[in-house]
Chain A
Amino acid sequence: MSLDQDLPLLSVKNLSHFYGQHLGCKNVNFDLYPGEVLAIVGESGSGKTTLLNCLSTQIIPTDGAVFYRNRKGQSDNLYEMSEAQQRILLRTDWGFVRQHPRDGLRMNVSAGANVGERLMALGDRHYGKIRDTALDWLEKVEIQADRIDDAPRTFSGGMQQRLQIARNLVTNPRLVFMDEPTGGLDVSVQARLLDLIRRLVSELGLSIIIVTHDLAVARLLSDRIMVMKDGKVIEQGLTDQVLDDPHQAYTQLLVSSILHVGS
């Protein structure tokens, strides 16, 4: 067990993706360890979403490999897996929290069904138990129990996002991808959501790769940070170190712009 903790959960080797001749991301290398939160930051067009989509096998990259260590301790290249294996990972071992809740939720079925779907996909066939688990998770993400039969479209943006998190975490995934999960939310709602994510990460020991353009989000949540510009990783390291002492001019610019807003 302790040995496993020392080995990376995800190992990214020379990952590049081109859209035709247009560069998506180039030569990305990093390891993600169990329980670690990695933030990928950069402005739009920097390649961070392309990278996230490659890592989560939604896009098969032009070049490179990503090794994922499964629960048995075996490390396999994601892109050599069958689509079936990839899809099983996506709905069991992994989670994917999208920026827009409508992309990550079934808007036309109840909150309870949204949370229960993964359980049913894995073969749970006891309505009462599925419902209890859903209630449990709604409580964890601070959604009132009496909203369980309501459709997500009747929820506020913040609630929808919390529901999306519950829907993803119900199968106890080991790795969760998040794409700008706080984008489009009011500042106060953002803060509550970030708090929740932070609490769940520490309680559940989740590994997270989060894409954000918001350095404040990165600082609050992540252990490590990767700065991307024009498809390339230009700087990476411990979050506090990078943000307090950025080496690259571009990172300095990003950091200073945040500080100005903050002060």
Chain B
Amino acid sequence: MSLDQLTNEAPAYNFAYLDEQTKRMIRRAILKGIAVPGYQVPFAAREMPMPYGWGTGGVQVTASVLGESDILKVIDQGADDTTNAVSIRNFFAKTANVDLTTHTSEATVIQTRHRIPEEELQEHQTLVYQVPIPEPLRFLEPRETETRKMHALSEYGLIHVKLYEDIATHGHIATTYAYPVMVEGRYVMDPSPTPKFDNPKMHKSKALQLFGAGREKRIYALPPHTDVVSLDFEDHPFTIQEWPDTKCAMCGAEGVYFDEVILDDAGNNMFVCSDSDYCETRQSEGHLGPLNADYKERMQ
């Protein structure tokens, strides 16, 4: 069989692409990660047919947990229709033939890059994060040998030095995404580059949260109901992004994470929900924002 045939004919590959041996290896890493929440478990990440940095870690984790009865949702930047989300969804459509959905509530497995859905996740759901740099201390200390020791000995002074510097320089903590968290009072963890807005959703989540970093060959996990606390100071507590007086232009939602959309070259803009499913569901339920076409109709 030629390579061309192999890449065109999905059935030549095992269910969800990875061979069962590899899946077992990854599942062992996942189980270890669940047993030690927040600890980065090294695993022998495979080369995947998409580039490193484009979700290979998340894809391997998803491939290893996916069963035939699962319903999969893939989002990137909160949206189901962004190019990389489409590409990854197609990959699983081709190799696993599972049911696909864009509705958060219907999905049993959600693979995500950069967002956590607005709708609260439930016990039967697994959220799989794509992680580029799993090491929260990496930019403070580039050496793996050193950061491993720091985790082992809970030497986390350095990460507070960074937060201290933020406050000394800017008057407040200036980390807006990939905001480090303390897991069960033991391991400092990188939540992947989700905006800090999403950090509180990780805390005591009912869903299982799995993190896969393919290039860096690490898996970590948060079992349901795990304590996840964003690092801060007592007198400079953690806060999330806020858009006061802002509503989604499409569905009128408030208190969600917004995408800013530039409307013209005069600098006019509007805000819409970053979570496309959340926004569409609200619209279908009759919630309309001021720039929604149906809104004007209704007003007339």
Contact = CB atoms under 8 A, between A and B. Distances in A.
Interface of A: 83-84, 87-88, 91, 106, 109-110, 112-113, 116-118, 120-122, 125-128, 130-131, 148-149
Interface residues of B, number: 19
Contacts of B168: 110, 112-113, 131, 148-149
B167 interface: yes
Contact of A149 (B149, B169, B235): B169
Given A87-B155, A149-B168, A149-B169, A106 B161 contact: yes
Contacts of A149: 168-169
A125 B234 contact: yes
Contacts of A113: 161, 164-165, 168
Contact of A127 (B149, B153, B157, B167): B167
A128 B167 CA distance: 10
Residue among B152, B157, B158 facing the most chain A CB atoms (10 A cut-off): B157
B24 interface: no
A31 B234 CA distance: 43
B236 interface: yes
A84 B161 contact: no
Contacts of A84: 152-153
B158 A127 contact: no
A162 B251 CA distance: 60
Interface in B164-190: 164-165, 167-169
Residue among A83, A106, A121 facing the most chain B CB atoms (10 A cut-off): A121
Dominant secondary structure of chain A at its interface with chain B: helix
B160 A120 contact: yes
A165 to B, nearest CB: 18
A116 B169 contact: no
B13 interface: no
B233 interface: yes
Contact of B164 (A88, A122, A127): A127
A112 B156 CA distance: 17
B161 A117 contact: yes
Given A88-B153, A109-B161, A121-B158, 18 more contacts: A83-B149, A91-B157, A109-B165, A110-B169, A113-B161, A117-B157, A118-B157, A120-B161, A120-B164, A121-B160, A125-B233, A125-B234, A127-B167, A127-B235, A130-B164, A130-B233, A131-B168, A149-B169
Interface string B215-226: 000000000000
Contact of B235 (A106, A109, A112, A128): A128
Contacts of B236: 127
